[in-house]
Amino acid sequence: MSPTVRIAPSILSCDFARIGEELRRAEAAGADWHHIDVMDGHFVPNLTIGPPVVEAVAKAASIPLDVHLMIERPIDWVARYAKARPEVLTFHVEACAGLDEARATVRAVRDAGVPKVGVSLRPGTAIEALEPLLDVVDLVLVMSVEPGFGGQGVRPETLSKPRRLRQLGWRGIVEIDGGVNASTLGSCVEAGCDALVAGSALYNELDMTAAIARFRSLAAQAAQRGSHVA
């Protein structure tokens, strides 16, 4: 568990016509990671960006990339997305044809030299589905909304997952994605999350610097209330 909470604005809510400026806006505002949502129109009912754009974002960025693959059979794509040298490459356990393929995907991400391997799960997938992977991943990305679109509200029942991970004694990074804003982030951090993805709540703010500062102060207060956070 990290002593400080990482904040990852999701470029899904940025102005894609001005992506370089938007990346710099998030960096100047104090973001830790750029969260990059890759969707294939099959695993989720939306289509976003592919490898060339992720590589272009990587060239323009001066903070690490946190790439969230919402695509079928991620193992087939790991090498392509690893070319952008992300800090984190996360895939969905449901997108793999079984646990053996999920384990092979983790190995492929490591073999590609990506520093942190993440695994994610939809709101309807139980944490038990990825328990066998906890020893081999660095990050669990808990989806607090059905993946595919920004601007939805946190499903409160999904917060049982970070709680469960911390009860199990898991000390990796627990990231939460979907509906995170100044009103909801406290309960996420109290539940054990130490990385926060936010699209609309950060990119839609005129003053992202103030918004991130507010996130940090609310997260620090919540971390003190949450017994599991150092």
Q: Which residues are catalytic?
A: 37, 177
Which residue in the set 2, 160, 187, 200 belongs to the binding site for ligand DX5 (CB under 6 A)? 200
Residues 100-119 that bind ligand DX5 (CB under 6 A): none
Which residue in the set 5, 7, 12, 65 belongs to the binding site for ligand DX5 (CB under 6 A)? 12
Strands 116-121 vs 139-143: parallel, antiparallel or unpaired: parallel
Is residue 9 at the binding interface for ligand DX5, with CB under 6 A as the rule? no
By beta-carbon proximity to ligand DX5, the closer residue of 32 and 228 is 32
Is residue 197 at the binding interface for ligand DX5, with CB under 6 A as the rule? yes
Residues 17-36 that bind ligand DX5 (CB under 6 A): 35
CB of 35 vs Zn ion, minimal distance in Å? 6
Tell me whether residue 84 is exposed, middle or buried, using C-beta atoms within 10 angstroms of its C-beta: 0 to 12, 13 to 18, 19 or more: buried
Tracing tokens 């490898």 back to the chain, one arrives at 51
Identity of the amino acid at 104:
A
Contacts of 106 (CB under 8 A, 6+ apart): 117, 119, 133, 136, 137
Which residue in the set 86, 179, 192, 226 belongs to the binding site for ligand DX5 (CB under 6 A)? 179
CA distances from 157 to 48, 82, 120, 170, 213 (A): 27, 33, 16, 20, 27
Is residue 150 at the binding interface for ligand DX5, with CB under 6 A as the rule? yes
Residues 120-139 that bind ligand DX5 (CB under 6 A): none
